[in-house]
């Protein structure tokens, strides 16, 4: 079991959460009162359950870091990271998360998740064609960056050499840009905005049903099974739809036929038909439906977390299991004041 020292906000918090979820000891230093929009009970409980939480004087940070196997510091810029004296901390693994990294001309630029999404090209490709681009909700940027940091820290855990891991939120986004940058390099173009319609494979789109929505996402080899699922066997021999290129040319006509076939079916009926036809179809579920998903329950995915008022809350666990080990339950702990250890 490693000892992790955590300093920072959402990225550092999610980084620490991943270590807690996997049986490690995490101590979080509460450096300042978070802004009102960041201090909700739900977010605090989600990120920090299972951690020791302390108030500590900045002059004690180096001593605390020396007792940790891994230190994570989330900073708003390279200069902000340097102000902590992180270069003088003695710890086997030091992880520094910042918007643009510790080097380069943008190292001291300030950023938010939404400005980073815009700069990284994500915003350009999200939304409907002909309309303003969209951003992503929530804390996708911070949490995804934390996943990279967690992976890097684990890769370095068994090295005998001390490591400084410089994690850039900007670069973490670009590292996940799929084939977009390669497409630009090869062909001088990028994916266009096309809403929920996956342009290159037809049919792949959202369709309304009797009590909600369903996403049909197929590949060309599933076409015959799709016609069975839709209960429209005649589409299998319709020359307009005989291959994916032709279905792309006639997407509007095909989407209309699919819409008519699904509008009177319930989500439960569609799920059963998709399972029988062995095609990928995802009904759009509310969070109430997600929480009662039998598959997640059988995999012991949900955890009970005890809040400060002793209320039991439901929280997701990590997205993986090791050796089918049971996933534990945690409690949010009160913040305590760290007692300075005098050398006198």
Query: Could you tell me if 327 and 340 are in contact, meaning their C-beta atoms sit under 8 angstroms apart?
Result: no
Residues 171 and 99 in one domain: yes
Domain that holds residue 118: 3-179+331-337
Paired with 54 in beta bridges are 29, 336
- Read off the pLDDT of residues 34-72 as tens digits, 9 standing for 90 and up: 554 455 778 889 999 999 999 988 888 999 999 999 999
Give the model's confidence band at 341: pLDDT under 50 very low, under 70 low, under 90 confident, else very high: low
Q: How many folded domains does the chain comprise?
A: 2
Report the chain's mean pLDDT, rounded to a whole number: 90
CATH no. for residue 64?
3.40.50.10540
Query: Could you tell me if 164 and 98 are in contact, meaning their C-beta atoms sit under 8 angstroms apart?
Result: no
Give the three-class secondary structure for 273: helix
Residues 108 and 228 in one domain: no
* 183-197, 278-292, 305-319: range with highest mean pLDDT: 278-292
User: For residue 184, is pLDDT > 80?
Assistant: no
User: For residue 161, is pLDDT > 90?
Assistant: no
Residues 137 and 250 in one domain: no
Q: Report phi then psi at 28, rounded to 5.
A: -105, 130
Residues 74 and 9 in one domain: yes
d(CA 11, CA 73): 9
Average pLDDT over residues 318-344: 78
């Amino acid at each position: 079991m490693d000892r992790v020292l955590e300093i920072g906000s959402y990225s550092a918090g999610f980084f620490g959460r991943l270590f807690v979820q996997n049986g490690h000891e995490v101590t979080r230093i509460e450096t300042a009162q978070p802004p009102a929009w960041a201090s909700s009970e739900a977010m605090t409980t989600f990120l920090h359950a299972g951690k020791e939480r302390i108030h500590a004087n900045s002059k004690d940070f180096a001593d605390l870091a020396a007792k940790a196997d891994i230190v994570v510091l989330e900073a708003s810029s390279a200069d902000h990271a340097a102000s902590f004296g992180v270069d003088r901390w003695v710890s086997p693994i030091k992880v520094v998360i910042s918007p643009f990294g510790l080097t380069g001309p943008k190292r001291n630029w300030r950023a938010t998740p939404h400005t980073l999404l815009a700069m990284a090209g994500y915003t350009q490709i999200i939304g409907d064609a002909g309309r303003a681009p969209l951003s992503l909700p929530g804390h996708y940027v911070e949490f995804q960056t934390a996943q990279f940091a967690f992976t890097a820290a684990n890769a370095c855990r068994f090295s005998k050499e001390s490591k400084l891991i410089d994690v850039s939120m900007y670069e973490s986004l670009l590292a996940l840009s799929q084939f977009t940058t390669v497409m630009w390099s090869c062909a001088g173009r990028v994916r266009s905005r096309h809403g929920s319609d996956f342009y290159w494979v037809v049919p792949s789109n959202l369709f309304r049903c009797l009590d909600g929505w369903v996403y049909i996402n197929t590949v060309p080899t599933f076409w015959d099974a799709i016609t069975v699922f839709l209960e429209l066997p005649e589409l299998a021999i319709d020359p307009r739809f005989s291959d994916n290129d032709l279905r792309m040319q006639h997407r509007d006509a095909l989407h209309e036929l699919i819409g008519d076939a699904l509008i009177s079916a319930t989500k439960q009926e569609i799920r059963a038909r998709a399972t029988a036809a062995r095609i990928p179809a995802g009904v759009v579920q509310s969070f109430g439906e997600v929480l009662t998903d039998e598959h997640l329950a059988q995999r012991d995915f949900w955890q009970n977390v005890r809040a400060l008022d002793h209320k039991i809350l439901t929280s997701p666990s990590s997205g993986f299991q090791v050796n089918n080990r049971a996933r534990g339950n945690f409690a949010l702990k009160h913040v305590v004041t760290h007692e300075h250890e005098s050398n006198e």
